[in-house]
A and B are shown apart, each in its own frame.
Chain A
Amino acid sequence: MSEKAIVFDRVSKSYPRYHQIMGIKNFLFHLPTAIRSLKNARYEVLNGISFEVYRGESFGIIGRNGVGKSTTLGLIAGVLRPDSGRVIVNGRISPLLELGGGFHPELTGRENIILNGVLLGMTRAEVLKRMDEIIEFSELGEFIDQPLRTYSSGMYARLGFSVIAHLDPEILLIDEVLAVGDIGFQKKCLDKMLGFKRMGVTIVFVSHSMGDIEKICDRVMWLEDKRVREVNESKKVITDYINR
């Protein structure tokens, strides 16, 4: 368990303030202020955080809304760049997209499986090879040839998770997406994640459900106030978090 899949080394991350993203008209009419605000109006979300995730480990991230959990996943996925510090990732990353992300409502379930699989890094041939398995896992039956706009949100979630479940991920990023879908399917997803865990997939799991976190994660990181408040084994951190 000593090989490292993810290393954060004193990572800081800030975002531009919202008013920075404005129209070109406003920009030109308020040029001096606009240029000044471009320079300094970023606000910090993470301030020099360091942690490591080992290969094959299931790692939870908890903290209140807006503390930077999704930002941390974005940094791991490489879609965000840190302002300073280093993010090192060893392994292929599979993010579990939010509800409907990477889907098109006009395409059928089957077509969306291909679209989603390719977006998540598979080749088309690989997706086609697993098509039957994916459809079976999704339990969508004949809906699979209906356009997605006829699906309920639970069915969207089924489809999304079914694709990811057949990705052969090395590092799986899951950001609060299991909360939809019926209880039966949620349980199936949890089982699949436990299955991934047994197979040695590294999982980074963000959730507000302490029950799910405890079931899945070996260790948990608690983010608070731009920093790591605590990293330890799940039970300990969850207890501290609840009794904060």
Chain B
Amino acid sequence: MTADMDPGVRIELTVNGRARSLEVRPNHTLLDVLRDDLGLTGTKECCLVGECGACTVLVDGVSVDSCLVLAAEADGSAVLTIEGLASGDRLDRLQEAFLETGAAQCGFCIPGQLMAAHALLTANPHPARVDVEEGLAGNLCRCGGYEQIIEAVLAAADRREVAT
């Protein structure tokens, strides 16, 4: 039997606050479903082995490589992707800080960096530099823009959380 003939699996997800009911292939990852089924292409695909972090999203508040999570495993969870980080037109403090420090160069790793940073600041609102280095260790940036990325995360941490 080919993958295309496998019966689908019905899952319920809350993605960026919106309830989604989907039939997914059992072999498809959360990354596949976000990008291909839901059209949320802000989450990026690169290594597919959980090393580059380009596909980082939050599942029930935990930062995960969405390429390593089967969509079926995510059934019932709340997923936050880069598309859900801003509040409407208002950017998150991390997004503002990334713009200010010039952290986004080619930009391809940036959604993953932002989601990892968001998870980091949620767990540790006042990280030291070394905490940021460790917190983002799973997110590769080949532009080598780590200094400006770390600066942005530290700057965002210094900012009061904007009440929503």
Physical interaction between A and B = no
Interface residues in chain B, defined as those with a beta carbon under 8 Å from any beta carbon in chain A: none
Interface residues in chain A, defined as those with a beta carbon under 8 Å from any beta carbon in chain B: none
